[in-house]
């Protein structure tokens, strides 16, 4: 089928073919749906079908281009069938091999369909022969250079290496394609060479095309795993930070209960009832985000406890809440540490007590929360320490960094004897 190509044209065609195989692998790997098919070695039927439907037609287009335009460098049918079998299993490999062979089959290349099925089946069988499917992804473009070491281990230690099998299969299938193509002219496409020894180049081209495609998909898998691990670490870190706040709040509240036990037993009992209500809410919630509405309800319960101790005449709380902000999602336990700090360090030292003013607004797609108190204030030189020391504000700061990166504002302003103001700006998010 066709005339034998000079060596220079053979090398150029094969280099371009390796590029086509790699480009197809890279192109389909950009799809989020296809990436899901690579995440796990054991795939559902839907994932296998998705794998075939994304990859198979792309390989078939390359064959169709070769059939219509006589441009041999785009035919990666053998590489595609082998890669699909190795990565997706026997059925996926055979289906991709069949899809890739259809344009050639309808071009009267009658052996193309059987050869496509064979290529996919061989790849699938190779996958089944290894108990550790992760080894499939270790077949790289330079595996051939490790062949002497593998042969040495086999002769001296009697230890084989599974990675030899894909290498041998690439070479064997390419040689079989050349032999069948020469025996049955026109029935199967192959790359003609002028001299017998030059078949080493098609063999290397097929090997590199398969290995580079697997390497590209393996890099995609690694990126997915790193991203998942990063999300898991962030979730674990958030859980640790939240659990750091809850004992702190519980400790301070129980101290309040202890102070009321002798002087006001009924007040202590009422305080414990309210505390139990708060703890039940905490035990039910494990989310990193909650609607602002829920966070404000929590603050109301918390302040009811604090007012039991201070008295409504010494601790006043005012809210100016934009109704449009109530469904915005905020980090859980965002406000309580700051209000607790305002009470303990700002208002408690004042004999006459004081007030806290909470405002929420929406501004250019961001949620703005402001807390003002008229407590004793903070010395200016101590404000930088508050962001990084203690449990309350520093914990809020760290959680905001984990959740939003740099896309947030936490600003504290204070004047001695006049009070403290805290402003938080975060992206305005709503639950789906």
| Rounded Cα distance, 270 and 137, in Å | 63
Q: pLDDT, tens digit, for every residue of 316-328?
A: 899 999 999 999 9
Residue boundaries of the structural domains of the chain: 7-228, 261-427
Which of 239, 114, 245 has its CA nearest to residue 181?
A: 114
> What pLDDT score does 28 carry?
94
Q: Are strands 354-363 and 329-331 parallel, antiparallel or unpaired?
A: unpaired
Half-sphere exposure of 271 (CA within 13 A, CB side): 24
Cβ pair 420, 320 in contact under 8 A? no
Least confident of 85-99, 374-388, 405-419: 374-388
Name the pTM for this structure.
0.63
Burial profile 185-214: b = 16 or more Cβ within 10 angstroms, e = fewer: eebbbbbbbeeeebbebbbbbbbbbbbbbb
CA distances from 361 to 292, 293, 424, 426 (A): 12, 13, 11, 11
> What pLDDT score does 283 carry?
64
For the chain, percent of residues with pLDDT exceeding 70 = 87
For the chain, percent of residues with pLDDT exceeding 90 = 46
> What pLDDT score does 2 carry?
59
Asked if the 261-427 domain carries CATH number 3.10.450.40, the reply is: no
| Rounded Cα distance, 159 and 424, in Å | 63
Q: pLDDT, tens digit, for every residue of 174-189?
A: 999 999 999 999 999 9
Q: pLDDT, tens digit, for every residue of 26-78?
A: 999 999 889 888 887 888 888 889 999 999 999 999 999 999 998 899 999 99
> What pLDDT score does 309 carry?
66
Q: pLDDT, tens digit, for every residue of 96-145?
A: 999 999 999 999 999 999 999 999 999 999 999 988 888 888 887 666 66
pLDDT band at 236 (very low <50, low <70, confident <90, very high): low
Residue positions counted in the chain: 432
| Rounded Cα distance, 183 and 176, in Å | 10
Cβ pair 97, 193 in contact under 8 A? no
N-to-C CA span, the chain:
59
Cβ pair 392, 355 in contact under 8 A? no
Question: Is pLDDT above 60 for 243?
Answer: no
Question: Is pLDDT above 80 for 432?
Answer: no
Which of 202, 177, 205 has its CA nearest to residue 1?
A: 177
Residue 104 dihedral angles phi and psi, to the nearest 5°:
-70, -40
CA distances from 61 to 17, 67, 173 (A): 13, 10, 21
Average pLDDT on 223-246 reads: 64
Q: Locate all alpha helices (DSSP H) within 380-421, ordered by sequence.
A: 383-386, 392-404
Classify the C-alpha dihedral 213-218-221-222 as positive or negative: negative
In the chain, % helix, strand, coil (3-state, to 5) comes to 65, 10, 20
């Amino acid at each position: 089928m066709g005339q034998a190509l000079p060596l220079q044209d053979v090398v150029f065609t094969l280099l371009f073919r390796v590029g086509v195989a790699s480009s197809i692998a890279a192109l389909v790997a950009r799809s989020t749906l296809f990436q899901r098919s690579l995440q796990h070695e054991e795939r559902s039927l839907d994932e296998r079908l998705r794998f075939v439907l994304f990859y198979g037609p792309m390989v078939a287009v390359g064959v169709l281009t070769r059939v219509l335009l006589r441009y041999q460098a785009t035919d990666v049918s053998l590489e595609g069938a082998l890669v699909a079998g190795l990565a997706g299993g026997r059925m996926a490999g055979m289906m991709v091999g069949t899809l890739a062979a259809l344009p050639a089959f309808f071009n009267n290349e009658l052996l193309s369909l059987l050869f496509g099925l064979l290529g996919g089946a061989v790849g699938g069988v190779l996958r089944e022969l290894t108990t550790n499917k992760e080894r499939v992804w270790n077949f790289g473009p330079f595996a051939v250079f490790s062949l002497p070491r593998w042969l040495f281990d086999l002769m001296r230690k009697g230890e084989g290496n599974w990675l030899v099998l894909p290498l041998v299969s690439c070479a064997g299938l390419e040689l079989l394609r050349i032999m069948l193509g020469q025996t049955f002219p026109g029935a199967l496409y192959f790359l003609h060479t002028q001299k017998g020894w030059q078949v080493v180049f098609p063999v290397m081209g097929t090997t590199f095309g398969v290995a580079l495609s697997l390497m590209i998909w393996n890099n995609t898998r690694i990126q997915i795993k790193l991203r998942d691990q990063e999300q898991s670490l962030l979730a674990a870190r958030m859980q640790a930070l939240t659990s750091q706040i809850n004992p702190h709040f519980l400790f301070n509240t129980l101290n309040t209960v202890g102070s009321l036990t002798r002087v006001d037993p009924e007040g202590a009992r009422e305080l414990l009832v309210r505390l139990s209500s708060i703890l039940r809410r905490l035990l039910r919630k494990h989310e990193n985000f909650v609607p602002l509405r829920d966070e404000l309800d929590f603050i109301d319960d918390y302040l009811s406890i604090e007012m039991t101790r201070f008295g409504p005449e010494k601790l006043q709380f005012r809210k100016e809440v934009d109704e449009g902000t109530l469904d915005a999602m905020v980090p859980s336990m965002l406000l309580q540490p700051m209000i607790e700090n305002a009470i303990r360090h700002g208002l408690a030292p004042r004999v006459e007590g004081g007030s806290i003013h909470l405002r929420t607004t929406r501004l250019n797609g961001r949620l703005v929360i402001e807390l003002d108190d008229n407590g004793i204030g903070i010395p200016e030189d101590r404000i930088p320490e508050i962001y990084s020391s203690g449990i309350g504000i520093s914990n809020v700061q760290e959680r905001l960094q984990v959740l939003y990166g740099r896309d947030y504002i936490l600003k504290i302003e204070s004047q001695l004897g006049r009070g403290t103001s805290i402003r938080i700006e975060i992206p305005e998010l709503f639950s789906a």
